[in-house]
A and B are shown apart, each in its own frame.
Chain A
Amino acid sequence: MAWSSQQSARLRLETDILSRYFPTFSLRDSIIPGHAVVEGTMRSNAGHEYVIRLHVPADLPNSVPVVEIISPILKDRFGHSLVDLGTSYSMHLLKPENGVVRICHYSASHWSPNVTFTKVLLKIRAWIEAYEGHLDSGFPIDHYLPHMQA
């Protein structure tokens, strides 16, 4: 199955908005729905770089995209790998797959087609600052980032 015409239009819209807010991000493998990803680099206020991969859902824009941080390998302040933490409420982490960290950004009950990739990536950007705050202070990430009500 290929992208529908409105999904193709939506992908164009998403990449247009991304080019304004996150110009390093680009769409890859976009031919086959279910394989497409948006990938790019984010730089924290402290100057550290993170490579982010957003998986475009096959039913774009109707479900929550999976977002992973594929490099660097993230550790908490105490030296434990974030992947090994598994699902973590206090660190806003979902169950990792393929050995990379998945960030909990929007839950399904807060998702709607009005949420763009750029809005998702803004949350990831906030997560990164909170993560670096955790590295400095040892407070869990939800000390900096409040949860959306389940």
Chain B
Amino acid sequence: MSSMTALVYVLEEQVRDLLREKGSSRLIDGTAYGFDDWTVFHAYTEQPFTTPSGYVCTCIVVRSDAMGLVDEEKTLAEARHRLDSDERPVIVLIASSDATGSPSCRALVVTRAGVTGADTRFVPRRSELYTRNTGLLETSALAAKRVLIVGLGSGGSPIALELARAGVGHFTLIDFDRLELGNISRHVCGVNDLGRFKTLAVRDQILQKNPYAQVSTMEVNVNQALSQVDEAVAGCDLLIVASDNDQSRFNLNQMSLNYNKVALYGRAITRAAGGDVLRVRPWKGPCYNCIFSSGLVDGREEEMSQKRQALSVLPAYVEEDKINSMIQVGLSSDIAPIANMMTKMALVELSRGIETGISTVDEDLASDFYVWANRREEAYGNWPRMGFKWTHPSILRWYGARVDRDPNCMVCGSHITEDSVI
């Protein structure tokens, strides 16, 4: 062990909970995770709610009695008794209330070499975690907001994390895919999460950014769990669609209109040469079907990032070779601008009616449909070079397109009134 004083991080909430317990002081089995040559530890009085990292160490927790006293000899004897042969230290947490009634916590690191005191740091509660954002985003307001994200792949997962960083408090995540090797390079989750449902892995990432977020998950295929998804749409403030097939987008579009929920749709085109983002304000602007039938969105251009996705949209007679050649993925950095645009549009929608630093962005986002090109390829092949001009279309800029509602749209057209579907 290095000579520096070890740092031990403890969740303040857990210590408060422990001190609230009545009755006599007793030893509790906690759990701790050590890092970096046993110089840093994260210690918990009970199992953490988010997936921890680090190397597991034994941890024992003791609460001081009504007199503020702890039998240290007995506690240390127990700690030494728990030491095993592999040199891992045992962490001892001693929780008590200080003179003002605030919780405090001492930590000791017990090894075969002896006992050393550690610096204890409380992981602060929400008010302190997010104060840096105050003024730009009223995080206390966004804490009450509920977003539903469908599709937790390379597009949906970074949006989820950014919204957590901005202080959004409630998430429902829908995806039935698991993280596979081929996903990792473009996903916010890493090899530690291989094989896990994307929903659960992303939930843990959200909790790493905002431990107080409420995250529920649904490992279902939207197209086969319509009533469950319908309920989730009804309960959200904003619907974010980052799924990879039009059938799910059509189904979600209908639900967003039914419940009058603003929806954001984003996708990348082949090899992520670019992509587009659509905002649907139900009954006020074009719906997903209006855009689809306008020809602005073409199902054939959609980026195919995995075989399951290709199989679901291609006729059964398409040969294996062709399917494999259609699976062409772009780089994470090509997806990032699309995810970032969706995040900003989401924050604008969620901040509506709340005084925030981003409210002027709303004035600029006059269009409901935005196009982005990463490279002069595919649909953008005939665009001029970027050069120094800004008066012609070029890569790496957002373009808003004016699209109106289609009066003949079979989903939101003029023959269908809002009243007839609600």
Contacts and interface: CB of A to CB of B under 8 A. Distances in A.
Interface string A86-124: 011100011100000000100111111110100000000
A19 B343 CA distance: 47
B246 A111 contact: yes
Interface in B291-334: 292-293, 299-300, 302, 312-318, 322
A112 B292 contact: yes
A1 B313 contact: no
21 contacts: A4-B258, A6-B416, A6-B421, A59-B223, A59-B250, A61-B250, A62-B247, A63-B247, A88-B317, A89-B315, A89-B317, A107-B315, A108-B299, A109-B302, A109-B313, A109-B314, A110-B299, A112-B250, A112-B293, A149-B300, A150-B318
A106 to B, nearest CB: 10
A111 B410 CA distance: 13
A58 B302 CA distance: 25
The interface centre, meaning the residue of A4, A88, A114 with most chain B CB atoms within 10 A of its CB, is A114
A150 B300 contact: yes
A88 B316 CA distance: 8
Given A5-B420, A9-B420, A113-B289, A59 B317 contact: no
Nearest to A109: B299
A34 B50 CA distance: 40
Given A63-B223, A108-B246, A114-B293, A150 B315 contact: yes
Contact of B411 (A58, A87, A93, A113): A113
Interface of B: 223, 226-227, 245-247, 250-251, 254, 258, 289, 292-293, 299-300, 302, 312-318, 322, 408-411, 416, 420-421
A114 B289 contact: yes
Contacts of B316: 87, 94-95, 104
Contacts of A150: 300, 314-315, 318, 322
Interface string A113-150: 11010000000000000000000000000000000011
Contacts of B302: 109
Interface size of A as a range? 20 to 34
B43 to A, nearest CB: 48
Contacts of B254: 4, 6, 62, 113
A107 B313 contact: yes
A5 B418 CA distance: 12
A105 B322 CA distance: 20
B409 A108 contact: no
Nearest first, the 6 A-B pairs at minimum CB distance are: A109-B299, A62-B250, A89-B317, A108-B313, A87-B316, A87-B317
Interface in A2-59: 4-6, 9-10, 58-59
A142 B281 CA distance: 42
A10 B322 CA distance: 36
A108 B227 contact: no
Given A9-B420, A150-B318, A150-B322, 16 more contacts: A6-B421, A59-B250, A61-B410, A63-B250, A88-B317, A104-B317, A108-B246, A109-B314, A112-B293, A113-B250, A113-B254, A113-B411, A114-B289, A114-B293, A149-B300, A150-B314
Question: Which of A87, A88, A107, A150 lies at the interface centre, i.e. has the most chain B CB atoms within 10 A of its CB?
Answer: A150
A144 to B, nearest CB: 17
B421 A114 contact: no
Given A1-B227, A63-B223, A113-B411, A6 B420 contact: yes
B246 A109 contact: yes
Contact of B245 (A107, A108, A114): A108
A94 B316 CA distance: 6
A93 B313 CA distance: 15
A140 to B, nearest CB: 12
A109 B300 contact: yes
Among A88, A89, A112, A149, max chain B CB count under 10 A is at A112
